Amino acid sequence: MKKTLSLLLLTFPFQAITQSNSLKSPQNLIPTQGAQYTQAALTTKLIFKWKPEAPSQEAPTKYRLRIWQLMVGQSITQAMKVNQPLITKDVKFASQTIIFGLISGPYIMPYIYRFVWTVQALNIYGAIGPNNGTSKPTTFSTSQF
């Protein structure tokens, strides 16, 4: 008695889903790019809001807000690489936070304080989304008057 084995091979088209096309990093909402604030606004409280990463994750997401001061003649990239953040704050279960007293001490006119901020999405597995889970940098400053 002779036995035979038949094999049926099926192929299915598929699209590879990578982190860069399936997830989006958070997006900065407030302060907006180029926003200007009075000295009083930056010495009291300032609200930071962002759009969460998409799609939302099963593991809880923590957002790390970072704010740097841009020194005279510095680019955004230089400030983020060389300067220590003025503020680093982890926010859980929310997509906004309040920062109190971003500027303290005497305000020197006509010096304009310039800042850059980002937010990074993190969970227990690490960063979520492209660009290490970090939003595009957004700048804001004090107004001249």
119 exposure class (CB count in 10 Å sphere: 0-12, 13-18, 19+): buried
Instruction: Label residue 58 by pLDDT band (50, 70, 90).
Output: confident
Query: How far apart, in whole angstroms, are the C-alpha atoms of residue 130 and residue 20?
Result: 5
Asked if residue 119 lies in contact with residue 30, where contact means CB atoms within 8 angstroms, the answer is no
Q: Which CATH class is domain 30-142?
A: mainly beta
Q: What pLDDT sits at residue 5?
A: 57
Bridge pairing between strands 138-142 and 96-100: unpaired
Distance linking the first and last C-alpha atoms of the chain: 99
| 3-class secondary structure, 79 | helix
Say whether pLDDT at 138 is over 50.
yes
Average pLDDT over residues 65-93: 94
Q: What pLDDT sits at residue 16?
A: 40
> For the chain, which residues make up each domain, given as ranges?
30-142
Average pLDDT over residues 97-124: 84
- DSSP characters for 35-52? EEE-HHHHHSEEEEEEEP
Say whether pLDDT at 111 is over 80.
no
Residue 9's alpha-carbon distances to 4, 12, 14, 114, in angstroms, are 16, 10, 16, 62
Asked if residue 133 lies in contact with residue 122, where contact means CB atoms within 8 angstroms, the answer is yes
Query: What predicted TM-score, i.e. pTM, was given to this entire model?
Result: 0.80
DSSP bridge partners of 124: none
Say whether pLDDT at 99 is over 80.
yes
Average pLDDT over residues 99-110: 75
